[in-house]
A and B are shown apart, each in its own frame.
Chain A
Amino acid sequence: MEIVIDGTRPLPLKSQLAEYWEYRGLLRHLVVKELKVRYRHTALGLVWSLAQPLLPALILGSVFSRALTHPEAARVPYALFLLAGLVPWSFLAGAVSLASGAFVSNGYILTKVYFPRAILPAASVLTIAVEFAGGCLLLCGWAIFAGWHVHLSWVWLPVLFASNALFAFSIAIGIASLNVLYRDVRHALPFLLQVWMFATPVLYSPLLVPARWRWLFGLNPMTAIVLGFRHVLFGTPFDLRLEATSACAATLAAIAGIAVYLRLQDALAERL
């Protein structure tokens, strides 16, 4: 094994990817550690992770009833409709919030030992993913209970869940890197996420928005995933153009996040 440290040339991308594979064991250990630390000394343990999408869905669902859904989607109980939006959204928000601090809070490790840096935010995202796998099961269970039948198209749910995780990870590594340079990020992030949630059709149906403005949802990377969940589960109308533009936006945002990380990864330890 030979490692060349060259000041003028960063490690080739291929070797970087090989290193991530080498360190997959560390990723597992970090996820297990995070879950243990989060739920040690709690009586309910992982059950708490279900509270995050479920309680807001029940609260908002009982307050607003069906005021925010389109008549077309009215056959879905509003709380269930909300849960289908809140599961992917809370996953994204939770993963990005936790992962954005991954470099800063592990600074004492990053400045002492080398391993591929993105392992840390990846562990944060996977931790939240484990918690939200439960949220997904809850969502499916409720849908079946409410009278929907398990359908072949449900195989799309894991795909959507994986895309959600991948997207969360890609933007989180960029945000986590920026957070090292500008600690403002950490303070601004909760507000940005809140604004972003209202801009995403989580609490409402996009059909409530006049048709000529609806294309704006296509600029939002999360639209595709949230609407995807609802379409697969409840057969709500599928707008291919909206889905495609939103998926493109998600891809672009993901690339931007990864690019920021790749640009900053070598400087992280010096700024911590």
Chain B
Amino acid sequence: MTLISVTGLTKRFELVTRGGAKRTFLALDNISFELAAGEVLGILGGNGAGKSTLLKILARVIRPTSGRATLRGRVGSLLEVGIGFHPDLTGRENVFLSAAILGLKDREIRACFDEIVDFSGVEAFLETPVRVYSSGMYMRLAFAVAAHLQPEILLIDEVLAVGDANFQKKCLARLRKLGSDGQGVVFVSHNPSAVARLCSRAILLDHGKLICQGPVPDVMATYLLGDSTHPGERSWDSASDAPGDAVARLLRVRLRDEFGQTRCSIAVGESFDVDMEFEVLAEDVILFPSVTISNEWGTAVLWSTDSGTASHGRPRRAGFYRASVRIPRDLLAEGTMTVTAAMTSLAPRQEHFCAPDAVRFLVTDGVDGSTARGVYTGYINAVVRPKLDWRLKYDPVAPISSRTS
């Protein structure tokens, strides 16, 4: 079932410039998309792309200039946590007020009141004005209210930007559950990896225009890699452009999955090949092709050179070569990666070509539990993420040093 269908949505804002003249500004330009039941749709785009405007129109906070959006089902909008909270009211009073503003009826609030209090963990302070709450308690109570809205369509913006890691984890888990329960979620976030982990589909906005929509990895790739760089594949046609010298020249670098398709986005659990095509122009030089993969912080994650093929350590004949290196699955962490292709010879060490940033690609991770991340949804601060072998043994006879009575 389609929960949201949007056709030709356009929003024009009128701005008054310094001279007092009016100027119109197209915040959304003819946007069309759909949201199916059970889908978590991510909205990606830079600042000013129109993401928030789109969400506000769907939340009915502002009206479109033209176009149509049909929403089938109750809409819950979480454009901010703690909406309607008043510092002088107690926790209990605020739960009821905030829930009423978010569209819940008293009967519904009473039905899940205990659950809300449990979720927030502020039971002891329920009759205390929220102005004396710590910011953490305030946030937990506010989110607990929001999390217990049970709309068919949930619109979320930036909610995840607040709170500590534990709190964010709770939010993400709650979101995933909504998606799997057959509700629809539209999710705007400035955190692209959160979108990658949670969403099944995404749309990309840029200056009010819908650039692309589809499966998250593809849209993410377009968003993060942009048009100006070289996702997946890059070749040099003319000899004058190509990196190289009188000995060797780079022709093409390509990322290839196991089916031979060029890819600019790879899941953590997939292996892939980096192909490097080059021309050898001078004989009798011992050449070492190498590949470096760096992450978005510029850290070289791995370096590898041809050390095992038959031609290793021997001079090559002139002509065309293709070197391929297989990058195993479950090794790279998620993020934007760049590939540097280089050719060196030793004694003396000489670099014949080096193409930094030859291609870029995106590594994405899911939360289905099949990768090293398991079902943890938060940020992992590590450069590589190999899936390692863990063993756990229970020893029933070993003495226990401390015991709680």
**A interface, CB within 8 angstroms of B:** 1-8, 10, 23, 25-26, 29-30, 33, 36-37, 40, 108-115, 266-267, 269-270
A27 to B, closest residue via Cβ: B100
Chain B contact patch, size range: 35 or more
B70 touches A2 (CB 8 A): yes
Closest CB in chain B relative to A7 CB, distance in Å: 4
Apart from the given pairs A29-B101, A114-B61, A114-B77, 16 other A-B contacts in the complex at a CB distance below 8 Å: A1-B72, A3-B71, A5-B57, A6-B67, A7-B67, A33-B89, A108-B83, A111-B56, A111-B61, A112-B77, A112-B79, A112-B83, A113-B59, A115-B101, A269-B62, A270-B13
A270 to B71, CA, bound (A): 22
**Given known A-B contacts A2-B71, A6-B68, A29-B100, A36 and B89 have beta carbons under 8 A apart:** yes
Q: How far is the CB of B73 from chain A (nearest CB, A)?
A: 6
A29 adjacent to B67 (CB under 8 Å): no
Contacts of B71 in A (CB 8 A): 2-5
Interface pairs (24), CB distance under 8 Å: A1-B72, A1-B73, A3-B70, A4-B68, A5-B57, A5-B60, A5-B63, A5-B70, A5-B71, A6-B68, A7-B66, A25-B106, A33-B93, A36-B88, A36-B93, A109-B101, A110-B61, A112-B61, A112-B79, A113-B101, A114-B61, A114-B77, A115-B103, A269-B61
Query: Chain A's nearest CB lies how many Å from the CB of B15?
Result: 11
Q: Are B70 and A4 in contact (CB under 8 A)?
A: yes
Q: Please determine whether A7 and B10 come into contact, CB atoms closer than 8 angstroms.
A: yes
CA of A40 to CA of B88, assembled, Å:
8
Q: B9 interface residue, CB < 8 Å from A? A: yes
Residues in chain B near residue A40, CB distance under 8 A: 88
CB pair A33–B86 under 8 Å, yes or no, is: yes
Minimum Cβ distance to chain A for residue B65 (Å):
5
Residue of A nearest to B59 (CB): A114
B167 is an interface residue with CB less than 8 A from chain A: no
Across the interface, name the chain B residue whose C-beta is closest to A3.
B71
Q: How far is the CA of A36 from the CA of B83 in the complex (A)?
A: 18
Most buried by A among B57, B69, B79, B101: B101
Q: For B101, what are the chain A residues with a Cβ–Cβ distance below 8 Å?
A: 26, 29, 109, 113, 115
B73:A113 contact, CB within 8 angstroms: no
Tell me whether A37 and B86 are in contact in the complex, defined as CB-CB below 8 angstroms, given that A3-B71, A4-B68, A5-B71 are known contacts. yes
Q: Return chain A residues, CB-CB under 8 Å to B59.
A: 112-114
Q: Which of B64, B66, B74 contacts A1 (CB 8 A)?
A: B74
Q: Given A5-B60, A33-B89, are A113 and B102 also a contact pair (CB < 8 Å)?
A: yes
CB–CB A7/B79 < 8 A: no
Write the chain B residue with the least CB distance to A41: B88
Contact, CB under 8 Å: A5 / B74: no
Q: Does B84 count as interface, using CB distance less than 8 angstroms?
A: yes
Chain A residues within 8 Å of B61, by CB: 110-114, 269
Cα–Cα distance between A33 and B85 once the two chains are bound (Å) = 10
Interface centre among B61, B93, B102, B106 (most CB of A within 10 A): B61
Least distance between A91 CB and chain B CB atoms (Å): 25
Of the candidates B10, B13, B74, B83, the one whose C-beta lies within 8 Å of that of A113 is B83
Q: How far is the CA of A111 from the CA of B80 in the complex (A)?
A: 10
Known: A33-B93, A37-B89. Is A112-B80 also a contact (CB below 8 A)? yes
Which residues of chain B are within 8 angstroms of A1 by Cβ–Cβ distance?
72-74
Q: How far, in angstroms, from A115 to B97 measured CA to CA in the complex?
A: 13
CB nearest neighbor in A for B77:
A113
The 5 A-B pairs of least Cβ separation, nearest first, read A7-B64, A114-B60, A7-B66, A5-B69, A112-B79
> In whole angstroms, what is the CA distance A202 to B59 when docked?
46
Q: How far is the CA of A33 from the CA of B58 in the complex (A)?
A: 28
Complex CA distance for A37 and B130, rounded to whole angstroms:
13
CA–CA, A26 to B99, complex, Å?
A: 9
Instruction: Note all chain A residues with C-beta closer than 8 A to B70.
Output: 2-5
- Which B residues are in CB contact (< 8 Å) with A30? 97, 100
* Given known A-B contacts A109-B101, A113-B101, A7 and B63 have beta carbons under 8 A apart: yes
Q: Is the beta-carbon distance between B88 and A270 smaller than 8 angstroms?
A: no
Residue of B nearest to A270 (CB): B62
Within 8 A of A (CB), among B29-88: 56-75, 77, 79-80, 83-84, 86, 88
Check: B174 CB closer than 8 A to any chain A CB: no
Closest to B84 in A: A109
Question: Is A25 a contact partner of B105 (Cβ separation < 8 A)?
Answer: yes
Inter-chain contacts of B62 with A (CB < 8 A): 266, 269-270
Q: Is the pair B96, A29 in contact by a Cβ cutoff of 8 Å? A: yes
Bound CA–CA A270/B74 (angstroms): 23
Please name all residues of chain B whose beta carbon is closer than 8 Å to the beta carbon of A269 when the two chains form the complex: 56, 61-62
Who on chain A is nearest to B9 by CB? A7
Interchain CA distance A25-B106 in the complex, whole Å:
7
> Which residue of A29, A108, A114, A266 contacts B97 across the interface (Cβ within 8 Å)?
A29
Nearest chain-B residue to A112 (Cβ)? B79
Q: How far is the CB of A75 from chain B (nearest CB, A)?
A: 47
A115 contacts across to B, CB distance below 8 A: 101, 103
A2 touches which one: B10, B58, B72, B105 (CB < 8 A)?
A: B72
- Which single residue of chain B is at the shortest CB-CB distance from A10? B63
Contacts of B83 in A (CB 8 A): 108-109, 112-113
A residues near B72, Cβ cutoff 8 Å? 1-2
